[in-house]
C-alpha cells in the first residue's frame, strides 16, 4: 500500500454505513488519517465520534496474531486440519446438527457467504446463526410476513421528502448519529417537518422531537393497533390501494379495534398523556408523506415481529409505501447486518434471500452450489443454539467476530455452555475477550483497515470495505479460514477462492440464478454485479440493490409499482393483538431493566475501547434511574447498585435521570467481564424470545435494585 494514497472504504461500526476517505500516512507505524467521504451517499462526508476515531483502533495492541490450539501457537495448516478432522468425526458420530457456527454482523458479505455455504451445503446443517439475531431479526420477519420477502422499501433520500417522521424505539442521536444529524439539518431547513419520538425513555433524540410519546415498555402493538383503528374510523384508509394491492385489511382492522378496546382507557394503558396520543393520531392521519423508522426498541422484544407488522399495517392501510418520503423503514444496528441477510447468515434462511422452508429454493441453491446436501429444516436460532451447546447436543461451535459471553441474554449460561463444549473455535482479531478465553482453537482474524470485501447498510446500499494496511502476523480473512477448513474436509473444488471478488461474483450470480417470472421473482437480485472483474470489483462504487439490467445503477426505492414478493403480488396486513412482555414484574423483581447503546462505544468495546477520547464520554458501566425511584430504594447518585434478575447479577454506578420513568432502569450493553468484573449486563438479561423471529427481549427484564 502506497503511503498518502486516499482509500475509500466504509465505517466498521453502525448500520448507517458511512463512507470514509482514509489515508495511510505512516504504514510502518500504522498511522491512518480518517475523513468522511464526501462522495458517499450515506453520509456526504460527515462522520460521528466513533467513525472519525477509527484511525486510533488500528494498532497491533492486544491483537491475536497467530493460530493457537490449547494455548500453543500452531501453523494455520495444523489448525485448519484439526478443525476439519474434528468436524468430520463429530458429524460421523453425532450427525451434522452437532456442529454450529455463530457469526456476526461485523463479517463482510464474502465471509458470510462462505460460512453459510460451508455449513448449509457441505457440512449439511442449518445451524448457522448470527448476532444479527439480536439486532434486526424481528424486522426481517415483519417484512417477510408483509411483503413476502425481506425488502427494505426506503432510502435515506426519503428523509428529504418526508413531512412526518416517526421514530419508534430508536435513540437515533446515539445509535445512528449521522442519520440523526441528517434529519436535524433537514428539519432546520423545513420547519413544517414534524418528528414524533416513541420511547419509554427521554433520550438525546428528543432534541428534535416535536412530540414525545413515553410509551409503557412493550406497548407498541397496542399503540399502532389503536392508530390503525383510528385511521379506519376517520376514513383515512386508501381503499383503492388496499383493494388492488393488499390482503387482510378487514381482519387487521377488526383485530385492531378489538385490541384497542375502550378508547377512554387507552391513554392510561399506553402510559401516554391523552392529548399527545390524539395529536399523534391527528398528525399521522393528515400526513401522506410519513416515514416510520424503527430500531431495537421494536425489534428486541418477545412481540418484535408483531410490532414491526403493526407499524407496516398502518403504512399499507394508507398506501404510504413505494412513494417519496413514505415507508416503514427499519434501521439496522450493525455495519453488515443486511449483508448477512443477503448471504443467508440466519438459521432460517438460505442464500440470496431464499427460504430454507421452500423445497424449490433448497433444490435451486443445492444445484447452484453443487452441494452434496442441503438441510431440510431451519437450524437453531442464537438463544436456542447456545442452549443446545449447554445440553451437549451441539458438540462443536465456531464463533466468528462476536463475543456472545457478553452480548447474549442469560450470558452466564452461555459461558457455562462453552466451558463444557467439546470444541470451541473462535476467530477474532482481539486476543483477550470473554469468549476467546474459552476457545480451544483461536484463529487470528483481520480487523477493520485490513479486511477487503463488501457490506450493506440500512438502505440496501452495498459499499466496499477496503484494506489499507497489510495483514499483521498470521491474521487472515475469515473467508480464507473457512475455505481452508472446507478444503481440508474434501471440498476443494467448491471452495477454490483466492480473492474476495470471486466470492462476490458467485454471490451475485446466485441472486440472479433462476430469478424470473417462471420460478417466482425474488427481491434480492444483484446479478449484474456478477460480471465485475477483479479491477471493477475493487473500484465498485456504493450501489443499492436490486442491481439488474432494468436498474443498472441500483434501486433507490422499492414497491414503486405496487407489486410485492408474495405469490399473488399483494402485500399482507397481519391481524394482531397486544401481548405483554413474557416475564412480568413481581414483588421480588419490580423494575423493568432496559439495555442499549451509548453514544461513543460499540458492542463489547473491543475496538471502540481502544480510543481514549471515546472513553472520555462515559468511562464505566452505569445504571440510569429516575431520582425518585432510586431514592426510594436507598440509592444515591454516584453510589453503586446491584441489579439482579432470575438469571444473574451486575453492578453499576447509579446515575439519576428524569428521562427515565419511575419503575425503569437502563444499563448499557457494552461492558465485558474482561473490562469490568461485574458490569456485564448480559448476565442479567432474560432469555425470552419472539416466537417468530427468535429475537431476545433485551428491552424488558424484571430486576431488583439494591445498594451495593
Ligand atoms: Fe460509523 Fe455509524 Fe458513525 Fe456513520 S454513524 S460514522 S457508520 S458509527
Distance from the alpha carbon of residue 539 to the mean position of ligand 1, in angstroms = 22
Atom 4 of ligand 1 has which residue's CA nearest to it? 18
Rounded to the nearest angstrom, the distance between the alpha carbon of 642 and the centre of ligand 1 is 33
Q: Give the Å distance between the CA of 495 and the centre of ligand 1.
A: 33
- Three-class DSSP category at 224: helix
- pLDDT, tens digit, for every residue of 281-335? 999 999 999 999 999 999 999 999 999 999 999 999 999 999 999 999 999 888 8
For residue 35, how far is its CA from the centre of ligand 1 (angstroms)?
12
**What are the structural domain ranges in the chain?**
6-57, 68-135+339-505, 137-331, 591-707
Cα 197 to ligand 1 centre (Å): 21
Using one digit for the tens of pLDDT, what is the confidence trace for 180-201? 999 999 999 998 999 999 999 9
Ligand 1 closest atom vs CA 10: 7
Give me the DSSP letters along 349-368.
B-STT-BTT-HHHHHHHHHH
Ligand 1 midpoint to CA 13 (Å): 6
Instruction: Label residue 4 by pLDDT band (50, 70, 90).
Output: low
- Asked if residue 411 lies in contact with residue 384, where contact means CB atoms within 8 angstroms, the answer is no
Give distance in angstroms: CA of 177 to centre of ligand 1. Answer: 7
pLDDT for residue 704 is more than 80: yes
Nearest atom, ligand 1, residue 176 CA:
5
Q: How far is CA 664 from CA 268, 526, 651, 658, 671, in A?
A: 17, 45, 16, 11, 20
Among the ranges given (53-57, 330-334, 488-492, 646-650), the one the predictor scored with the smallest mean pLDDT: 330-334
88-138 tens-digit pLDDT: 999 999 999 999 999 999 999 999 999 999 999 999 999 999 999 999 999
Section 346-373 average pLDDT: 96
Centre of ligand 1 to C-alpha 37, Å, is 12
Same topology, domains 6-57 and 68-135+339-505? Answer is: no
Q: Using the structure block, give the residue that is written with the C-alpha cell 425503569.
A: 664
Q: Ligand 1 test: best mutation among 14, 20, 21, 605, most atoms within 8 Å of CB?
A: 14
Nearest alpha-carbon partner for 393 in 404, 385, 382, 383: 385
- Which of 10, 51, 295 has most ligand 1 atoms within 8 Å of its beta carbon, as the pocket-test mutant? 51
| Burial class of residue 601 (count of CB atoms within 10 Å of its CB; 0-12, 13-18, 19+) | buried
Q: Which of 177, 338, 339, 459 to mutate to test the pocket of ligand 1 (most atoms within 8 A of CB)?
A: 177
- How far is Cα 659 from Cα 229, in angstroms, rounded to an integer? 30
Please, are residues 642 and 708 in contact by the beta-carbon 8 Å criterion?
Answer: yes
**Dihedral through CA 69, CA 73, CA 76, CA 82, nearest 10?**
-20
372-387 residue pLDDT tens: 999 999 999 999 999 9
Q: Looking at residues 535-548, what average pLDDT do you find?
A: 97
For a pocket test of ligand 1, which of 9, 10, 16 has the largest count of ligand atoms closer than 8 A to its C-beta? Answer: 16
What is the separation, in whole angstroms, between the first and last Cα of the chain?
53
Q: Tell me how far apart the alpha carbons of residues 699 and 355 are, in angstroms, rounded to a whole number.
A: 29
pLDDT, tens digit (0-9, with 9 covering 90-100), for 396-408: 999 999 999 999 9
Residue of the CA atom closest to atom 6 of ligand 1: 51
Mutation choice for ligand 1 from 9, 13, 156, 171, CB with most ligand atoms inside 8 A: 13
Q: Is ipTM strictly over 0.90?
A: yes
Three-class secondary structure assignment of 113-175: HHHHHHHHHHHCCCCEEEHHHHCCHHHHHHHHHHHCCCCCCCCHHHHHCCCEEEEECCCHHHH
Residue 329 and residue 295: Cα distance in Å, rounded? 9
Residue 622, beta-bridge partner list: 653
Q: Compute, in angstroms, the gap from residue 43 CA to the centroid of ligand 1.
A: 9
Averaged confidence pLDDT in the chain: 96
Which atom of ligand 1 has the smallest separation from the CA of 17? Answer: 7
Closest CA to ligand 1's atom 3: 48
Q: Whose CA is nearest to atom 2 of ligand 1?
A: 14
CATH topology of domain 591-707: Barwin-like endoglucanases (2.40.40)
From 109, 114, 137, select the one nearest 385 (Cα to Cα): 137
CA of 336 to the centre of ligand 1 (A): 12
Per the CB < 8 A criterion, the answer to whether 572 and 253 are in contact is: no
Provide the pLDDT for residue 3: 46
Whether the predicted pLDDT of 243 surpasses 90: yes
Q: Which residues line ligand 1 (CB under 6 A)?
A: 11, 13-14, 16-18, 43, 47-48, 50-51, 176-178
Q: How far, CA to CA in Å, does 145 sit from each of 140, 141, 575? A: 9, 6, 11
**DSSP output for 279-345:** HHHHHHHH-SSEEEEE-HHHHSSTTHHHHHHHHHHHHHHTT-SSBTTBEEEEPPSSTTHHHHHHHT-
Looking at the chain, the whole-number percentage of residues with pLDDT higher than 90 is: 91
Q: Is the pLDDT of residue 141 over 50?
A: yes
Whether 106 contacts 334, CB under 8 Å:
yes
Q: What is the pLDDT of residue 2?
A: 44
Write the pLDDT tens digit of every residue in 681-703.
999 999 999 999 999 999 999 99
Atom of ligand 1 nearest to the CA of 179: 5
pLDDT at 1 over 60: no
Average pLDDT rounded to a whole number, residues 344-371: 95
pLDDT for the residue numbered 669: 87
Superfamily of domain 6-57: ADC-like domains (2.20.25.90)
Judged against a pLDDT cut of 90, whether residue 676 lies above it is answered with no
- CA 459 to ligand 1 center in whole angstroms: 14
CATH of region 68-135+339-505: 3.40.50.740
pTM of the model: 0.96
Residue 238 Cα to ligand 1 middle (Å): 37
Three-state DSSP class for residue 372: coil
Task: Look at residue 335 in the predicted model and tell me its pLDDT.
Answer: 85
Residues 6+ apart with CB under 8 A from 215: 198, 199, 200, 223, 270, 271, 272
Q: How far is the CA of 668 from the centre of ligand 1 (A)?
A: 18
Give per-residue pLDDT as tens, 514-528: 999 888 899 999 999
Q: 137-331: which CATH topology?
A: Dimethylsulfoxide Reductase; domain 2 (3.40.228)
The beta strand positions in 394-506, using DSSP E, are 396-400, 423-428, 441-444, 453-456, 461-465
Q: Is residue 546 reached through a cis peptide bond, with omega within 30 degrees of 0 on the bond before it? A: yes
Residue-wise burial string across 14-35, b where 16 or more C-beta atoms lie within 10 A, e elsewhere: bbbbbbbbbbbeeeeebbbebe
Return the HEC string of 617-672: CCCCCEEEECHHHHHHCCCCCCCEEEEECCCCEEEEEEEECCCCCCCEEEEECCCC
Residue 641 pLDDT grade (very low, low, confident, very high; cuts 50, 70, 90): very high
pLDDT digits (tens, 9 = 90+) for 250-263: 999 999 999 998 88
- Select from 10, 40, 47, 170 the residue to mutate for testing ligand 1; criterion: most ligand atoms less than 8 Å from CB: 47
Look at 141 and 332; give whichever has higher pLDDT: 141
Ligand 1: nearest atom to the Cα of 48: 3
pLDDT of residue 11: 96
CA–centroid distance, 577 to ligand 1, in Å, is 36
Amino acid at each position: 500500500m502506497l503511503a498518502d494514497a486516499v482509500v475509500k472504504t466504509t465505517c466498521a461500526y453502525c448500520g448507517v454505513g458511512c463512507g470514509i476517505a482514509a489515508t495511510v500516512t505512516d504504514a510502518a507505524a500504522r498511522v491512518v488519517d480518517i475523513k468522511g467521504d464526501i462522495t458517499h451517499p450515506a453520509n456526504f462526508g460527515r462522520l460521528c465520534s466513533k467513525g472519525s476515531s477509527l484511525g486510533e483502533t488500528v494498532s497491533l495492541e492486544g491483537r491475536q496474531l497467530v493460530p493457537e490450539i490449547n494455548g500453543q501457537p500452531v501453523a494455520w495448516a495444523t489448525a485448519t486440519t484439526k478443525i476439519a478432522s474434528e468436524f468430520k468425526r463429530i458429524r460421523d458420530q453425532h450427525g451434522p446438527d452437532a456442529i454450529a457456527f455463530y457469526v456476526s454482523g461485523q463479517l463482510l458479505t464474502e465471509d458470510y457467504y462462505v460460512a453459510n455455504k460451508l455449513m448449509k451445503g457441505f457440512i449439511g446443517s442449518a445451524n448457522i446463526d448470527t448476532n444479527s439475531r439480536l439486532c434486526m431479526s424481528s424486522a426481517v420477519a415483519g417484512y417477510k410476513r408483509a411483503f413476502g420477502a425481506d425488502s427494505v422499501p426506503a432510502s435515506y433520500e426519503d428523509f428529504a421528502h418526508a413531512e412526518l417522521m416517526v421514530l419508534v424505539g430508536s435513540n437515533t442521536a446515539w445509535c445512528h448519529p449521522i442519520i440523526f444529524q441528517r434529519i436535524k439539518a433537514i428539519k432546520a431547513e423545513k420547519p413544517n417537518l414534524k418528528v414524533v419520538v416513541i420511547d419509554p425513555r427521554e433520550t438525546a433524540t428528543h432534541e428534535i422531537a416535536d412530540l414525545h410519546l413515553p410509551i409503557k415498555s412493550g406497548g407498541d402493538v397496542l399503540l399502532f393497533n389503536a392508530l390503525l383503528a383510528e385511521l379506519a374510523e376517520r376514513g383515512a384508509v386508501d381503499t383503492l390501494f388496499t383493494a388492488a394491492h393488499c390482503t387482510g385489511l378487514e381482519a387487521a382492522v377488526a383485530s385492531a379495534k378489538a385490541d384497542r378496546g375502550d378508547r377512554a382507557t387507552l391513554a392510561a394503558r399506553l402510559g401516554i398523556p391523552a392529548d399527545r396520543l390524539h395529536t399523534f393520531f391527528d398528525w399521522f392521519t393528515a400526513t401522506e408523506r410519513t416515514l416510520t423508522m424503527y430500531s431495537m426498541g421494536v425489534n428486541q422484544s418477545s412481540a418484535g415481529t408483531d410490532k414491526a407488522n403493526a407499524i407496516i399495517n398502518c403504512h399499507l392501510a394508507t398506501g404510504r409505501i413505494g412513494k417519496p418520503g413514505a415507508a416503514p423503514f427499519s434501521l439496522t444496528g450493525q455495519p453488515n447486518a443486511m449483508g448477512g441477510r443477503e448471504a443467508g447468515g440466519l438459521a432460517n434462511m438460505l442464500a440470496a434471500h431464499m427460504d430454507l422452508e421452500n423445497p424449490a429454493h433448497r433444490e435451486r441453491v443445492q444445484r447452484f452450489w453443487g452441494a452434496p446436501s442441503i438441510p431440510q429444516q431451519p437450524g437453531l436460532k442464537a438463544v436456542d443454539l447456545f442452549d443446545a451447546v449447554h445440553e451437549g447436543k451441539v458438540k462443536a461451535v465456531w464463533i466468528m467476530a462476536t463475543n456472545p459471553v457478553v452480548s447474549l441474554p442469560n450470558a452466564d449460561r452461555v459461558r457455562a455452555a462453552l466451558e463444557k463444549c467439546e470444541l470451541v473455535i473462535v476467530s477474532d482479531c482481539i486476543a483477550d475477550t470473554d469468549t476467546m478465553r474459552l476457545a480451544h482453537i483461536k484463529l487470528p482474524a483481520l480487523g477493520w483497515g485490513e479486511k477487503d470485501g463488501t457490506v450493506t447498510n440500512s438502505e440496501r446500499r452495498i459499499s466496499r470495505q477496503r484494506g489499507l494496511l497489510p495483514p499483521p502476523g498470521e491474521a487472515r480473512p475469515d473467508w480464507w479460514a473457512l475455505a481452508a477448513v472446507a478444503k481440508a474436509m474434501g471440498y476443494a473444488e467448491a471452495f477454490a477462492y483466492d480473492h474476495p471478488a470471486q466470492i462476490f461474483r458467485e454471490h451475485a450470480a446466485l441472486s440472479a440464478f433462476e430469478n424470473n417470472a417462471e420460478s417466482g421473482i425474488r427481491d434480492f437480485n444483484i446479478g449484474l454485479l456478477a460480471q465485475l472483474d477483479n479491477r471493477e470489483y475493487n473500484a465498485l462504487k456504493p450501489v443499492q440493490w436490486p442491481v439488474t439490467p432494468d436498474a443498472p445503477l441500483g434501486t433507490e426505492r422499492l414497491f414503486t409499482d405496487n407489486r410485492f414478493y408474495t405469490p399473488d403480488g399483494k402485500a399482507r396486513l397481519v391481524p394482531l393483538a397486544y401481548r405483554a412482555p413474557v416475564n412480568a414484574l413481581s414483588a421480588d423483581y419490580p423494575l423493568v431493566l432496559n439495555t442499549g447503546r451509548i453514544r461513543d462505544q460499540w458492542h463489547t468495546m473491543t475496538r471502540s475501547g481502544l480510543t481514549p477520547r471515546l472513553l472520555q464520554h462515559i468511562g464505566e458501566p452505569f445504571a440510569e434511574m429516575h431520582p425518585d425511584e432510586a431514592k426510594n430504594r436507598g440509592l444515591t447518585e454516584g453510589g453503586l447498585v446491584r441489579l439482579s434478575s432470575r438469571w444473574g447479577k451486575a453492578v453499576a454506578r447509579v446515575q439519576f435521570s428524569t428521562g427515565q420513568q419511575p419503575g425503569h432502569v437502563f444499563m448499557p450493553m457494552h461492558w465485558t467481564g474482561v473490562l469490568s468484573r461485574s458490569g456485564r449486563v448480559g448476565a442479567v438479561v432474560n432469555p425470552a424470545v419472539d416466537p417468530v423471529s427468535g429475537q431476545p427481549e433485551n428491552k424488558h427484564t424484571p430486576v431488583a435494585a439494591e445498594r451495593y
